[in-house]
Amino acid sequence: MAPKIQNILFKNGTPVPALGLGTWNSPPGQVTQAVKDAIEVGYRHIDCAHVYENEHEVGAGIAAKVGPGNVKREDLFVTSKLWNTYHLPDLVRGALQVTLRNLNLKYLDLYLIHWPVAYREGDVLFPLRPDGKRVHFSDVDYVDTWPAMERLVDAGLVRNIGLSNFNVQQVQRVLNVARIAPATNQIECHPYLQQAALSEYCRGQGVTVTAYSPLGSPARPWVKQDDPVLMDDPVVRKLAKKHSKSAAQILIRYQIQLGHLVIPKSVSKERIASNADVFGFELDAEDLAQLGGLERNGRICPESFSFGHPHHPFEAEFRKGRR
């Protein structure tokens, strides 16, 4: 049995388990079991999204574990995300209702705008242009989407709302119009992409950072043979040996000590349990400095489909790093 997972408080006082199960890129047919395994070993935080196309499997896993003798729904913290083709305010509630049906839930604990970029409206997740490399854009501005997110809270369908993949200026634009402030900004975060300035800004605004791809997403579909593997980095391996922990445990612990929520993905029960065993040790100041020194602006998820979109959050820095 994994140690009890500690909570972090959102600015509004909502407790959130610091560690959650990520479900992006989990192989079809394995997600239901992964969710059941995670709940069995002590996870209470499940992160999913409409675009992952596996929310029905997540829902089946939750349904198998919620009930008499198992966990209660209110013990779980379930997150999902509004996809880019549903930014039009009139489409937001319908998109959420699809997610709730797929998850077989009556409410979400957290609903995020998945990206600040809007795609052409419709049910095609990536409405590609003829070149097959970029998508058709919509001109909907995410600050117009935000009030529709707030209305989901008013309706009791969502307990908290937030952002994902928003840069500093974009978070500020939402804060400028928000009646209900975003609870979190979920961003790619690991030692090869620290996003320290964004994290510090969010902290100063009371917006909790949630770190995705904390292990460097070694199984991402577009990985290249010569891409660096974070978990094989000599510094990470040295710290794993020092603390008698796995490389994954070092990387997850790092995010927790930065004050971030963290959502590593796995479908292996052994690794799911191991990933939660990170609350019985601490990285010291020298360890943190060594991990902080690994920065290489190594963005795994550049969202290149939407390069050229006026609201792309980090195209400029991505292109600058490739000069």
Residue numbers in the known binding site are 114
CA-to-CA distance for 285 and 290, rounded, in angstroms? Answer: 9
The answer to whether residues 82 and 46 touch, using CB atoms and an 8 Å cutoff, is no
Give residue for tokens 């049906």: 101
User: What value does the CA radius of gyration of the chain take, rounded to a whole number of Å?
Assistant: 19
Q: Where is the binding site for substrate, in residues? A: 114
Give the type of residue at 84. N
Alpha carbon distance 33, 267 (integer Å): 8
Q: 3-state class of 2 per DSSP?
A: coil
| Gap between the Cα atoms of 32 and 272, Å rounded | 13
Element (H, E) at 110: strand 110-113
Q: 43-82: b or e for each residue (b if 16 or more CB lie within 10 Å)?
A: bbbbbbbbbbebbebbbbbbbebbeeeeeeeeebbbbbbb
- Residue 50 in contact with residue 23, Cβ under 8 Å? no
Cα 250 from chain centroid (whole Å): 19
From 43, 52, 142, 201, the catalytic residue: 52
Alpha-carbon gap, residue 236 to 97, rounded angstroms: 42
Q: Give yes or no: 52 in active site.
A: yes
The angle formed by the CA atoms of residues 188, 190 and 191, to the nearest 5 degrees, is 145
Positions annotated as catalytic residues are 52
